[in-house]
C-alpha cells in the first residue's frame, strides 16, 4: 500500500506540504495542468530551490498576475463601499506568521509582471472573503477527478467545522479570509492533486509540532500561538508544544492533517521508502530546520520472496496471571476471545507467589481488537489486570489451496514459496475424514501430507 508519511520537524503549512510533495516526485508541470481545471484565474506559480539549515528544499509560491491583482483590488474596493457586519459570520484570519503561504519575502522569486498575493495593499477591516459554499462550488464545478475533489473538499470542510466551533456559529455561516485567498485554495487543492499524482492511498504523520508562548497579529486583533482553529483541528491528535514563539503549524496545515491522516505512525512500523521530499518554510530558525519532510513508500507489502516471508506486522500481546479460577472456565474464555477476533490464545502453567499453582493466559490480538479483548479478559476471568505490549512479527507466506489426494480433493495450507514451500494438512479436514472413514486420525494426516507434497 502506497503511503505518505509527513515528518513534521518544525510544523506544517499548506505551501510546505505542496513543496515537499513536489520535491518527492509529483510533477510540477502536471500539478499546474491539473490546477487549470479549477475555475480560478489571475495567478501564476513559481518553484524555487532553496536551502533550510543546509538541506535542499523546494519552495512553491503563488503569485497574482496583473489581471488577478486588479480583480483583487476591485473586490476590496467594493467591500469598502459595503461595510461588512462581523457579527453575522465567522471568519478565518489573515495571519502574519513564519509559514504564511500568502506572504512571500524571498528575493528574486517574483517574475516580471507578477505580484505576491500578500503584497496586495491592505485595507483594514475590509477583507476579500469567500464563503464555505463559494469554495465548495468552485471545487465541485471543476473538472478535477472525483478523488481530488473529495480530498480537497474534506480539507476545507474540516477547516470550516473548526472555525464554526471556535466562533460558535453554523458551518454554512463560515467565511474564509486567509484560506479563501487564491494561494491557499491552490495549496489545498494542489495537495490533493499531488497525493493523487504520487498514487498515495493513505497519509500518516509524526506528532505535530506547534509553536507556543507567542502571538500572531490578525486583522481581528492579536491571537495566541497556536491559533484557536489549529488547536480545534488537532483536537485528539498528538501535538508537541515547543518553546518556539512562532506559528509553526498553520490552520491550513492542521486541516490537511485532520482530513487526510490516518494517525501517527508507530515507530515499530516497517516502511519501505521510495522517495523523500522537503518543503521549505519561509523563515530560518537557529538550530531548527524549517522544513516539512515527506516520505513516500509502502507498508505491509510482501518482500524477501526467496525465504517466502511476508513483510510482517504489529500485533498486541495481552496476558494475565491467574491462580484462583476454576479450570473449567479456561476453555470457555479461550473460545470467547477467538470468537472476538484473537489471532491465537494459550495458557502456561506457572508457580505464583505463596507457592500457588497458576496459569498465564496469553492472547495474541490484532491492534484494532486489543481493547475489546482486554475488556473481555477482565470480564470473563478472575484476573485483576491485563498486561499488554505491542510486538513485531514476521510470518511465512501462507494460503489455502485444494489438492488431489487418495481421499479426493482436500483443502491444505500452502506455506512459504519456492524451494521452501510445503503443504500442511488442515486439522479439521483430517478430523472429518477420520470420522467418515473410521480411520486413525494420524494415518489420515500423514497420508494427506504425503500426497499433497508429491510435486
Average pLDDT rounded to a whole number, residues 442-449: 93
Q: Which of 61-70, 77-86, 299-308, 318-327 has the highest mean pLDDT?
A: 318-327
Highest mean pLDDT among 182-186, 413-417, 433-437: 433-437
Q: What is the tens place of the pLDDT at every residue in 27-57?
A: 999 999 999 999 988 899 999 999 999 999 9
Locus of grid cell 524477501: 304
Residue 200 and residue 220: Cα distance in Å, rounded?
38
Q: What is the pLDDT of residue 298?
A: 85
**Residue 149: predicted pLDDT:** 96
Name the least confident of 102-116, 211-225, 365-379: 102-116
Band of residue 220 on the pLDDT scale cut at 50, 70, 90: low
Check pLDDT > 60 for residue 314.
yes
Q: Please say if the pLDDT value at position 11 is more than 80.
A: yes
Provide the grid cell at 306. 526467496
> Counting Cβ atoms within 10 Å, is residue 280 exposed (0-12), middle (13-18) or buried (19+)?
buried
Tell me how far apart the alpha carbons of residues 137 and 170 are, in angstroms, rounded to a whole number: 18
| Mean confidence (pLDDT) of the chain | 82
Pick the more confident residue, 47 or 169.
Answer: 47
**Is the predicted pLDDT of residue 372 greater than 80, yes or no?**
yes
- pLDDT given for residue 99 in this prediction: 46
- In the chain, what's the furthest Cα-to-Cα distance? 96
pLDDT of residue 243: 85
Check the CA dihedral 34-37-39-44 and report its sign. positive
pLDDT at 246: 86
* Structure-model confidence comparison of residues 227 and 18, the more confident one: 18
The percentage of residues in the chain with a pLDDT greater than 90, rounded to a whole number, is 53
Residues 122-153 have pLDDT tens digits of 333 334 567 888 899 999 999 999 999 999 99
Q: How confident is the model at residue 406 (pLDDT cuts 50, 70, 90)?
A: very high
More confident residue, 400 or 143: 143
Q: Which of 101-110, 237-246, 290-299, 387-396 has the highest mean pLDDT?
A: 290-299
Per-residue pLDDT band for 69 (boundaries 50, 70, 90) equals: low
- Range with lowest mean pLDDT among 251-255, 259-263, 307-311: 307-311
Strand, helix or coil at 411?
strand
Q: Within 10 A of 309 (CB to CB), how many other CB atoms are there?
A: 17
- Greater confidence (284 vs 208) lies with 208
Nearest in space to 100 (alpha carbons), one of 216, 194, 233, 229: 216
For every residue of 75-138, DSSP letters joined together read HHHHHHHS---TTSSEE------TT-TT----TT-SPTT-EEGGGSPP-TT----EEHHHHHHH
Q: Residue 343 and residue 338: Cα distance in Å, rounded?
A: 7
Instruction: Tell me the per-residue pLDDT of 70-123, one tens digit each, with 9 for 90 and over.
Output: 665 554 454 444 444 433 344 444 343 344 333 333 332 232 233 334 333 333
From 82-96, 309-323, 415-429, the region with the lowest mean pLDDT: 82-96
The three-class DSSP label of residue 370 is helix
What is the pLDDT at residue 267?
65
Amino acid at each position: 500500500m502506497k503511503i505518505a508519511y509527513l515528518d513534521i520537524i518544525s510544523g506544517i503549512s499548506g505551501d510546505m506540504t505542496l513543496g515537499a510533495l513536489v520535491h518527492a516526485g509529483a510533477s510540477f508541470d502536471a500539478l499546474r495542468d491539473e490546477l487549470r481545471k479549477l475555475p480560478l484565474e489571475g495567478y501564476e506559480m513559481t518553484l524555487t530551490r532553496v536551502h533550510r539549515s543546509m538541506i535542499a528544499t523546494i519552495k512553491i509560491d503563488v503569485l497574482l498576475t496583473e489581471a488577478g491583482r486588479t480583480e483583487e483590488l476591485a473586490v476590496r474596493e467594493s467591500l469598502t463601499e459595503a461595510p461588512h457586519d462581523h457579527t453575522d459570520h465567522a471568519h478565518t484570519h489573515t495571519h502574519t506568521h513564519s509559514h504564511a503561504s500568502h506572504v512571500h519575502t524571498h528575493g528574486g522569486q517574483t517574475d516580471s509582471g507578477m505580484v505576491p498575493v500578500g503584497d496586495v495593499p491592505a485595507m483594514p477591516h475590509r477583507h476579500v472573503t469567500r464563503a464555505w459554499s463559494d469554495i465548495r462550488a468552485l471545487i465541485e464545478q471543476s473538472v478535477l477527478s472525483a478523488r481530488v475533489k473529495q480530498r480537497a473538499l474534506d480539507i476545507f470542510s474540516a477547516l470550516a467545522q473548526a472555525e464554526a466551533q471556535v466562533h460558535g456559529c453554523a458551518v454554512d455561516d463560515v467565511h474564509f479570509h486567509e484560506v479563501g485567498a487564491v494561494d491557499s485554495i491552490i495549496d489545498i487543492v494542489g495537495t490533493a492533486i499531488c497525493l493523487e499524482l504520487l498514487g498515495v492511498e493513505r497519509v500518516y504523520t509524526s506528532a505535530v509540532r506547534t509553536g507556543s508562548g507567542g502571538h500572531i497579529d490578525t486583522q481581528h486583533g492579536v491571537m495566541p500561538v497556536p491559533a484557536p482553529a489549529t488547536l480545534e483541528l488537532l483536537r485528539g491528535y498528538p501535538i508537541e508544544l515547543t518553546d518556539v514563539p512562532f506559528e509553526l503549524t498553520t490552520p491550513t496545515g492542521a486541516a490537511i492533517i485532520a482530513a487526510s491522516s490516518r494517525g501517527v505512525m508507530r515507530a515499530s512500523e516497517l516502511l519501505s521508502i521510495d522517495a523523500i521530499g522537503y518543503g521549505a518554510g519561509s523563515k530560518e530558525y537557529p538550530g531548527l530546520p524549517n522544513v516539512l519532510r515527506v516520505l513516500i513508500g509502502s507498508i505491509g507489502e510482501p518482500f524477501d520472496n526467496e525465504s517466502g516471508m511476508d513483510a510482517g506486522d504489529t500485533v498486541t500481546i495481552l496476558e494475565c496471571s491467574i491462580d484462583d479460577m476454576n479450570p473449567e472456565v479456561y476453555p470457555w474464555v479461550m473460545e470467547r476471545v477467538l470468537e472476538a477476533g484473537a489471532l491465537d490464545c494459550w495458557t502456561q502453567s506457572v508457580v505464583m507467589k505463596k507457592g500457588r499453582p497458576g496459569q498465564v493466559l496469553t492472547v495474541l490480538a490484532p491492534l484494532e481488537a486489543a481493547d475489546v479483548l482486554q475488556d473481555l479478559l477482565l470480564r470473563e476471568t478472575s484476573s485483576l489486570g491485563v498486561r499488554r505490549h505491542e510486538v513485531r512479527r514476521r510470518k511465512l507466506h501462507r494460503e489455502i489451496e485444494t489438492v488431489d489426494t487418495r481421499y479426493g480433493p482436500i483443502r491444505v495450507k500452502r506455506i512459504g514459496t519456492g524451494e521452501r514451500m510445503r503443504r500442511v494438512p488442515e486439522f479439521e479436514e483430517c478430523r472429518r475424514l477420520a470420522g467418515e472413514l473410521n480411520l486413525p486420525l494420524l494415518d489420515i494426516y500423514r497420508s494427506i501430507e504425503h500426497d499433497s507434497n508429491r510435486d
